[in-house]
Structure 1
Amino acid sequence: MYKFEKSVKYCRSLTKMISDVEIKFIERYQDKQSYKINKKKLRVVINYILANCFNLYLNGESKGIISLNNKLYDSYIENGKKTKSAVSFRYFSKVKDLLIDEGYIEIQCGEFVPNEYCESYIKLTQYIKDNFKNTTGTSRPEFTDNSIILRKNGKDKEFRSNKYVKDVLNNMNNLNILFGKNTVYYPIKDVNYALKFNRIYNDSFEYGGRFYEQHSQVQSLRSCERLKLLINENKVTEVDFCSLHMALLYDLAEENMLNGFDPYEIDPCQLGLVDNLQTKKQLRSLAKLAILIVINSGKNSKPAITLKRKLEEDKNKNSSEQRYSLIPKDIDLTSVIEEIKKRNPKVKKFFNSGIGLVLQRKDSDIANQVIQYFVNRGIVIIPIHDSFIVEKQYENELIEVMKNSYKEVMGNNLNCRVEVK
């Protein structure tokens, strides 16, 4: 599932469908408007909706995220430059209603929560899928490439170009071109993914910078599902940095984590939980989330409240999608946080320090070193934040490059550990 892109170019594969919807729009509204219909603006909007829906279809998806907020259609920021949107919200609203009435799409409006982003969803009906199936040509819609994003308080910000920005844009362009020349196939959905990545920074270019897949196709898959991917028809491997952010903290504190030490391990009995393998696994996952919240929190924040909200969000999912199904809803989350702090006394000075975004910049710089090595060799590599996917034949090479990249950024690899998933 991915968010609709506003900067979509005209999709020639959909010429007939766009014309059909245009005719239906004019038949419905030409005598009801107090203004003359602008056919150019109308076609842009129809193309915007249908091209995004077509991209969903080609990627084996039936549902995507769409904005129903008119303010978000005024303009968009692309690689730091503000651009006036060609998508008219006035036409968008009417075209959307027409497509719903004609049975092309369904809309699920998001639930408004104060001070939080409200996501709405667009769902493809069988009718529009059948139309896409009969579409002549299967060339994908083209979206303007937004490779670098600077975000503050959840909103994209403008920024000026400099040497660093130009280097990042060049690197991202080379990575995305490489994806275009190779195939990433997902057998379960029988689709070839058209992958594109960007780097997202927080507040300034000193923080964040992680690599995000623009449409979250591979990064949203479970680990076991990612291993079913095929790159150029070859089986893949995924190699992971073990407990990366904790390793970075221990290195910054000049402390050794020691071999075999798991910074996220908590005894279930300490929290009144059943001591079995599955509970330990889920509790470890919750502890990992707790640490991320704690290191991103400031001195006066209350991480237990944030952790509670995350747990509630998980409980509201379908049982098959829940990550913490064995964790009671009323568990004492303050105790979870205290247990994980006791587990890691050597780095306690970093707790509630807001250092999380600094660590993200460190891990993104390490990832950049790994990615550029393989891109320069013309080898496809898919970053999954703390891990990387390559063809199986490059597994040993990837392990070596990851260790060297860690050492190059951190100055040593004392706490650097990697494992094959």
Structure 2
Amino acid sequence: MAADKLAKELSLTGQKKHITRNTITLLINCTHQQKFYKDQYIKFGKAENYFRELKTSGNLNTIGISYTFIDLINKAIENDLIEEKIGFHDRNWSGRITRIKPTEKLISEYIDAYDLHNAKTERKLEPLVLRDRNKTSKSFNTTSQVKRYQDIVRRYNNFIGKQSLALSGSNTTQNSNVIFDDYHVYRVFNNSSLTHGGRFYGAWWINLQSELRPHITINGATTIELDFQAQHVYLMYGLEGISYLEKKEDPYELDGYHRNTVKKAILTAINTTNMTGAFRACLKELKDKYGSAVRSMDYFTYVSPVDTKAGYEGLIYAFLAKHPPLEKHLHTNIGNTLMYLDSQICSHILDHMTERELPVLPIHDSFILRKDDQNELIIAATAAYQKVCPKGIAPLL
């Protein structure tokens, strides 16, 4: 087995299950890099907090990779199996994460020698994960509804695993995040409740950079990506018995504000319980994204309107002036409930498409599919909304 040979060559010590887990993960990622984006590097954080975040992440670390993975990487570098570009971080909101890629030695002695190009991961992931507020996994009763959720995920995984998915024709110079899983998805519910969260995570395309998604092919066919515009705003209207779709306008368009700033502020507002906390969270996210270019127009366009609490409050009041029915929902932490609704819509869509043997790749509120299948996706989406929140239907663009 390739993983056993790698562990022996690098003289790895420790518990065998951890060694096997780490070596398999490295080989999966290197094979994936060679298969889908040969000229790019894999993003890989060496800071200990990177792995602490992975332990609680629903969309990356499904097999429990820990800080010991760095020891494997260092030894692989010493043995000329991995090429590394070391990252950095400075005080001016600037930095770059470490990047790695396999050397010709690893490619020839492992990926080619063991024919890993056609290998797929076969880890038996649980289709549903329930976590408490501390992100710790919890047990749950297998009710008839839970069985239904599980069956949909299993059928989808079985079907999508038989399809040929690839990333081709990309000229981008971006790097892809390290991937710890392959074709299988699973649902993550939050706050010890099967009505909070429930979104799909795990598969490689979910973590793929948005710039690379247009290059995904399904069974050799090019794809398109359709997503629900401002889905959570439409769902909040739907909970009030109002169909915002009839207005035929973008709910995030506000005079004097950039749309992306409005979107970020409102999504923060529905995931916090008070104005102050929402302001701080919103500003941090915007500065994390644009702070390294503090003198650029992007920074001032996106951040300046909300870089004070008064500025944030002004945006919120402007939004509520346009959307009075939504005042009761902002700063109430309704986000997990809305994610549950959008995850149920996604689940129904996947079930519909799988029954018709039409492959579709979910990314929360968007779907990657072959262009010829888009009419069926619209039919599936319409039916899904009727089951979950009939008045909350959002445009699929």
TM-score by structure 2 length? 0.76
CA contact (8 A) 1:298 1:352 kept: yes
Counterpart of 1:124 in 2: which secondary structure?
strand
Q: CA 1:376 to 1:299, structure 2 compared with 1: closer, same or farther past 3 Å?
A: same
Aligned twin of 1:296: 271
Residue of structure 2 aligned with 1:228, choices 215, 227, 231: 215
Match of 1:173, as an amino acid?
Answer: R
Answer yes or no: is 1:49 the counterpart of 2:22: yes
Answer yes or no: is 1:351 the counterpart of 2:339: no
CA contact (8 A) 1:64 1:122 kept: yes
Between the aligned partners of 1:323 and 1:53, the Cα distance in structure 2 is: 40
Answer yes or no: is 1:264 the counterpart of 2:252: yes
Counterpart of 1:406 in 2: which secondary structure?
helix
1:161-212 Cα offsets, whole Å, 9 max, x none, are 4123333233222211112100111104699x94221111111111110112
Task: Tell me how far 1:230 sits from its aligned partner.
Answer: 1.4
Aligned twin of 2:103: 126
Task: Tell me how far 1:311 sits from its aligned partner.
Answer: 0.8
Counterpart of 2:10 in 1: which secondary structure?
helix
Identity of aligned residues (%): 21
- Equivalenced residue count is 359
1:321-359 Cα offsets, whole Å, 9 max, x none, are x99555254433413333222221121111111111111
Gaps of 5+ in 2: 34-39, 90-96
Aligned twin of 2:195: 206
Residue of structure 2 aligned with 1:102, choices 53, 67, 79: 79
Aligned twin of 1:286: 261
Aligned twin of 1:135: 113
CA contact (8 A) 1:239 1:399 kept: no
RMSD (Å), alpha carbons? 3.9
Q: CA 1:53 to 1:128, structure 2 compared with 1: closer, same or farther past 3 Å?
A: farther
Match of 1:370, as an amino acid?
Answer: I
Match of 1:206, as an amino acid?
Answer: T
Match of 1:211, as an amino acid?
Answer: F
Task: Tell me how far 1:68 sits from its aligned partner.
Answer: 7.0
Aligned twin of 1:167: 148
Residue of structure 1 aligned with 2:344, choices 354, 365, 378: 365
CA contact (8 A) 2:10 2:79 kept: no
Gaps of 5+ in 1: 1-11, 26-36, 112-119, 272-282
Aligned twin of 2:41: 62
Instruction: Point out the more displaced range, 49-58 or 150-159.
Output: 150-159
1:36-73 Cα offsets, whole Å, 9 max, x none, are x77xx35x444333321221122226335568769x89
Aligned twin of 2:386: 407
CA contact (8 A) 1:179 1:194 kept: no
Answer yes or no: is 1:398 the counterpart of 2:371: no
CA contact (8 A) 1:399 1:418 kept: no
Task: Tell me how far 1:308 sits from its aligned partner.
Answer: 0.5
Larger radius of gyration between Structure 1 and Structure 2: 1
Between the aligned partners of 2:66 and 2:212, the Cα distance in structure 1 is: 39
1:2-34 Cα offsets, whole Å, 9 max, x none, are xxxxxxxxxx24444333223xx5xxxxxxxxx
Answer yes or no: is 1:179 the counterpart of 2:153: no
Counterpart of 1:350 in 2: which secondary structure?
coil
Aligned twin of 2:317: 338
Task: Tell me how far 1:95 sits from its aligned partner.
Answer: 4.7
Between the aligned partners of 1:359 and 1:259, the Cα distance in structure 2 is: 21
Between the aligned partners of 2:254 and 2:358, the Cα distance in structure 1 is: 39
Query: For 1:64-83, what aligned pairs fall within 5 Å after superposition?
Result: 64-65=43-44
CA contact (8 A) 2:223 2:369 kept: yes
Aligned twin of 1:245: 232
Task: Tell me how far 1:369 sits from its aligned partner.
Answer: 0.8
Between the aligned partners of 1:361 and 1:324, the Cα distance in structure 2 is: 33
Between the aligned partners of 2:293 and 2:111, the Cα distance in structure 1 is: 30
CA contact (8 A) 2:160 2:359 kept: yes
Counterpart of 1:160 in 2: which secondary structure?
coil
Instruction: Point out the more displaced range, 128-137 or 345-354.
Output: 128-137
Aligned twin of 2:282: 307
Between the aligned partners of 2:265 and 2:153, the Cα distance in structure 1 is: 31
Between the aligned partners of 2:230 and 2:355, the Cα distance in structure 1 is: 28
Looking at both structures, which has the greater relative contact order when contacts are Cα pairs under 8 Å and sequence separation is at least 6?
2
Task: Tell me how far 1:108 sits from its aligned partner.
Answer: 6.3
Between the aligned partners of 2:70 and 2:206, the Cα distance in structure 1 is: 31
Q: CA 1:189 to 1:130, structure 2 compared with 1: closer, same or farther past 3 Å?
A: farther
CA contact (8 A) 1:239 1:387 kept: yes
